Structure 1
Amino acid sequence: MPAHDLSRWTHDHAFHAGNPAAERGTRAVMWITAVMMVVEIAAGWWYNSMALLADGWHMSSHAVAIGLSAFAYAAARRHAGDARFAFGPWKIEVLGGYTSAIFLLGVVVMMVVGSVERLMSPQPIHYVEAMIIAAVGLAVNVVCAVILGNAHHDHGGHEHHGHADHHHHDLNLKSAYVHVLADAATSVLAIIALAGGWLYGWSWLDPVMGIVGAGLVALWAKKLLTETGKVLLDREMDHPVVEEVRRAIESGAGRGNVDITDLHVWRVGKQSYACAISLVTHDTGLTPARVREWLSEHEEIAHTTIEIHVCTNC
């Protein structure tokens, strides 16, 4: 029996092409953050500023978390052709983002504990020197945000193909960006607290701002955990793409001619979804190829498994 050419019926299951710009950007930001972390922790200890120390320790976790994001990109790229990953290794990047969010929550605990201790036991602060270091830290965060923002745009983050922007989020890059924003926010709060203490003698403002910053970081961490957790657990059946699949089936077959008895949609790449669908119809000529034609207008549906039950007497 001659061998069959199966190439037209097979395809690559690595649906995410990677993000080399983001990988380079996160690696650069990791080293910048690590250097600034050492400077802020040393200055916070030397000048006795809890806000500055909190910012420095906060930055230390960011250096680790952003490094984890860079590692996730490298691991996903290295395993791109590994057949053991059923739908490619893209979720390594999402897992990196999820882990980064957990690091953020750890920072929140550190910031709150340190600030409460300083409220209960106030210490003298070298305000001017600490403000200078905090301002430098803020400038570094702005530079890092620009680097990561450019990485997003370089990878084509502006393309939407007519769909909502959240279809295109690189959650690993977003986690690194959130870490940088959190750093910037705590730097701003540290500057405000130090200025208040220097100008008005409000020494209590320094630890209070540490607590306020912790609350802000906790909110960002919670949102990031929710977004990445949904992808990792495949909890996306409320996503707009699910309704788009239903409408495409109804539009192609005509309302009432085909019933969807089972539908599963889950994300397999930053902009790609897999779909498993079971249909019941009276149309004996309906084929999976026709159903794929109905779905073809939705480019984000990268993989489909279609089961058709023909019911002639029901």
Structure 2
Amino acid sequence: MHTHDLSKWRHAHVFSTNSASAERGTQAVMWITLAMMAVEIGAGWWSNSMALLADGWHMSSHALALGLSALAYAAARRYASDRRFAFGTWKIEVLAGYTSALLLVCVAALMVVGSIDRLWSPKPILYQEAIPIAVIGLLVNLLCAWILHRAGHTHHDHDGHAHGHSHHAHEGQHPHHHDLNLKSAYLHVVADAATSVLAIVALMGGQMHGWAWLDPVMGLVGAVLIVMWARKLIADTGKVLLDCEMDHDVVAEISEAITADFKEGETQLTDLHVWRVGKDAYAVALALVTHDRTLTPERVKTALAIHEEIAHVTVEINLCS
């Protein structure tokens, strides 16, 4: 039995590449958040400020989520060539984003519990100690948001598809999809920045006007904002994890391409499955029934090659007598 070289007929299943900048940015932000968390907890313990202690422990949940995002990038990179992952490891990053969004909901729930407790049983607030640390916390969060924003732009500028097909740009080209793992890390930082702003407003109001109730009220406002952001992220990541993408524009474009390139009545599209395998990459499995005995999978793939987001195509052709 002869052994043949099939390498030219095979292609890699790494559909999302160049996550290095996003991974580095997430790691940097994680370490900055951990450092700030330690400062806040230490300052809270030293000054006997429950507000600072609570914010420090609150930051620990964000540090955990950021660590999860960084771990997801590392895992996706490490197992990129593992053949057990049929369509690559990109969904490890999406799963991390989904889990991180759930952590955001938990943070919001803890903020609600803490705020209601403060409204029910007010405690003295050490404004002189709490305000400077809250301001430093806000500046740190803005720095972290800038790092992640910059990493996201670098990531999108250099992102590409690692597969063996050539593609051509086409009109109405879809914009880059956001890195959902990076977006989850960014949301944690933004949520922390928003709570810092609300905390500063509350602390200033309490110090100048004696409105101690403003601190827990702002905590409730912050919790509502966080839940709204988390809900959108859960929906976006959940759709990808459940392969709920058949309403995407590319699905209609595939149908149009088949209709335009093959005679109607002679070739019909009978089955179509489209799902995302990378930030800007889709896999397609389709079945055709045809009277045209010259129709080949290669002709179908050529007709679809104009759509650069299609990274993997499987074609089934059924001849109709």
Q: Tell me which interval the TM-score lies in, with the shorter structure as reference length.
A: over 0.9
CA contact (8 A) 1:157 1:168 kept: no
Unaligned runs of 5+ in 2: 161-168
Corresponding letter in the other structure for 2:237: T
SS in 2 for 1:4: coil
- Name the residue aligned to 1:87: 87
2:315 equivalent among 281, 306, 313 = 306
CA contact (8 A) 2:206 2:212 kept: yes
CA contact (8 A) 1:16 1:270 kept: yes
SS in 2 for 1:86: coil
Q: 1:100-150 CA distances to partner (integer Å, 9 max, x unpaired)? A: 111111111111111110101111112233121111111101111111111
1:214 equivalent among 223, 226, 241 = 223
- Name the residue aligned to 1:295: 304
- Name the residue aligned to 2:165: none
> Whole-Å Cα distance in 1 between the matches of residues 96 and 130 of structure 2?
33
- Name the residue aligned to 1:275: 284
Deviation larger for 128-137 or 95-104: 128-137
- Name the residue aligned to 2:259: 250
- Name the residue aligned to 1:26: 26
- Name the residue aligned to 1:237: 246
- Residues 1:102 and 2:120 aligned together: no
- Name the residue aligned to 2:236: 227
Shift of 1:48: 3.6
Residues 68-87 of structure 1 correspond to what in structure 2 (within 5 A)? 68-87=68-87
Q: Structure 1 vs Structure 2: percent identity of aligned residues?
A: 63
> Whole-Å Cα distance in 2 between the matches of residues 71 and 39 of structure 1?
24
- Name the residue aligned to 1:39: 39
- Name the residue aligned to 2:166: none
Corresponding letter in the other structure for 1:86: A
Shift of 1:158: 8.3
SS in 1 for 2:287: strand
Shift of 1:39: 2.4
> Whole-Å Cα distance in 2 between the matches of residues 207 and 49 of structure 1?
13
> Whole-Å Cα distance in 2 between the matches of residues 60 and 219 of structure 1?
21
Residues 57-76 of structure 1 correspond to what in structure 2 (within 5 A)? 57-76=57-76
> Whole-Å Cα distance in 2 between the matches of residues 290 and 229 of structure 1?
34
2:179 equivalent among 170, 189, 204 = 170
CA contact (8 A) 1:273 1:303 kept: yes
SS in 2 for 1:304: strand
Shift of 1:4: 3.0
TM-score (norm 1): 0.93
- Residues 1:112 and 2:95 aligned together: no
Unaligned runs of 5+ in 1: none
SS in 2 for 1:181: helix
> Whole-Å Cα distance in 2 between the matches of residues 106 and 311 of structure 1?
56
Closer, same or farther in 2 for the Cα pair 1:254/1:181, shift >3 Å? farther
> Whole-Å Cα distance in 2 between the matches of residues 78 and 56 of structure 1?
33
> Whole-Å Cα distance in 2 between the matches of residues 163 and 221 of structure 1?
28
Q: 1:73-95 CA distances to partner (integer Å, 9 max, x unpaired)? A: 01111111111111111111111
SS in 1 for 2:215: helix
TM-score (norm 2): 0.91
- Residues 1:8 and 2:5 aligned together: no
> Whole-Å Cα distance in 1 between the matches of residues 293 and 245 of structure 2?
32
Between the two proteins, the alignment pairs up a number of residues equal to: 310
Deviation larger for 120-129 or 189-198: 120-129
- Name the residue aligned to 2:196: 187
